[in-house]
Amino acid sequence: MLRTGLLWLSERPAMSRLLRRNGLARRFAARFVAGDTVESAVEAARQLNRTGITATLDFLGESIAREPEAVQARETYLQLLDRIAREGVQANVSLKLTQLGFDLAADFCVANMTAILDRAKALENFVRIDMESSAYTQRTLDLFLSLFDRYGRHCGVVIQSCLRRSEADVERLIALGARVRLCKGAYLEPPEIAFPAKSDVDRNYVRLMERLLARGNYPALATHDVAIIERAKRFAAEQGIAPSRFEFQMLYGVRRDLQAALRRQGYNVRVYVPFGTQWYPYLMRRLAERPANIAFILGNLLREAAHRS
């Protein structure tokens, strides 16, 4: 119920306006967000690189309503790709199609996407298209597939194990040799198209993960679920799949201990580093994943109040 409420709130712009002005909310967001600027994201990536961990940098923003916002997002990604190359940072980028104008006009979004992919290709880098709610799944995959011949080595997509359709999507992407990030799915979805029980989402994750490990092209296993991570390690070892053939991915500020431990064990680890001022929906999805984080916020609030009094 709490998860549903938080995800519902994540889509309320009025709440976003209110919370983004709130000092405490901003400070809490800082736990999950590297900062407001490109510089802060690049610096976070540099710090991760020092421990052997790579990054994927995400300029926060989604469901934009006006073209100039999409243009700003495109320009920020171009700048980001240039900075990564110039400074030799081990990082690629992640973006959302609705941030590039997907809801305004498909052609406009494709033009923005193509500009970013041309730059990524020229710089030998990689762009991951995040997956948004199920309203966008088919359109996102269609757009990805339309760009695949031209940019396949430089572009990848995301599949969510919560969706019933994902097994068929994974098979199709494996057959193409496309790069897939597998996650559980962060959006509120109706039971007709998504598994309502978490145990089914987890079971499907394992099924899809094993298919991707066995036959996929450098899959990215995006999860903090320790049981699933252990299963991946065991499966790879049993099947003779070298650790260099896949990577684990986790979110900035979540389970840093686990990120470091996996790296020490010789696995590739990439951390998703969001930055920018539009952190509200991202933060709400993180709270929905772990409502204990709310207790953490309230605890901090009380401690600060006690210090002040």
Q: How far apart are CA 63 and CA 89, in angstroms?
A: 29
Least distance (Å) from ligand FDA to the CB of residue 240? 26
Least distance (Å) from ligand FDA to the CB of residue 254? 5
- Structure tokens that stand for 204 in this block: 């499907």
Q: Tokens 């990689």 — which residue?
A: 126
Least distance (Å) from ligand FDA to the CB of residue 229? 9
Q: Which runs of E-coded beta strand occur in the chain?
A: 54-59, 91-95, 127-129, 155-160, 179-183, 220-222, 247-251, 269-275
- Tell me, yes or no, if 181 is annotated catalytic: yes
Least distance (Å) from ligand FDA to the CB of residue 162? 8
3-class state of residue 196 by DSSP: coil
Q: What is the dihedral of CA 19, 296, 56, 271, to 10 degrees?
A: 180
Q: For residue 96, give the nearest of 187, 175, 199 by alpha carbon.
A: 187
Least distance (Å) from ligand FDA to the CB of residue 221? 9
Q: 70 or 221: whose CB is closer to ligand FDA?
A: 221
- Tell me, yes or no, if 82 is annotated catalytic: no
Q: What is the DSSP string of 285-298?
A: HHHHH-THHHHHHH
Exposure on the CB side of residue 118, measured as CA atoms within 13 A:
8
- Structure tokens that stand for 61 in this block: 């923003």
Q: Which residues contact 250 (CB under 8 A, 6 or more apart)?
A: 222, 223, 224, 258, 259, 269, 270, 271, 272
Q: Which one of the listed residues 119, 179, 181, 286 is annotated catalytic?
A: 181
Q: How far apart are CA 205 and CA 213, in angstroms?
A: 12
Q: 119 or 286: whose CB is closer to ligand FDA?
A: 286
Contact 219, 213 (CB under 8 A): yes
Q: Which one of the listed residues 119, 128, 130, 169 is annotated catalytic?
A: 130
Q: Tokens 């940019």 — which residue?
A: 151
Q: How far apart are CA 129 and CA 147, in angstroms?
A: 12
Contact footprint for ligand FDA (CB under 6 A) = 130-131, 158, 160, 183-187, 222-225, 249-251, 254-255, 272, 286, 289-290, 293
3-class state of residue 194 by DSSP: strand
Q: How far apart are CA 194 and CA 162, in angstroms?
A: 5
Least distance (Å) from ligand FDA to the CB of residue 190? 15
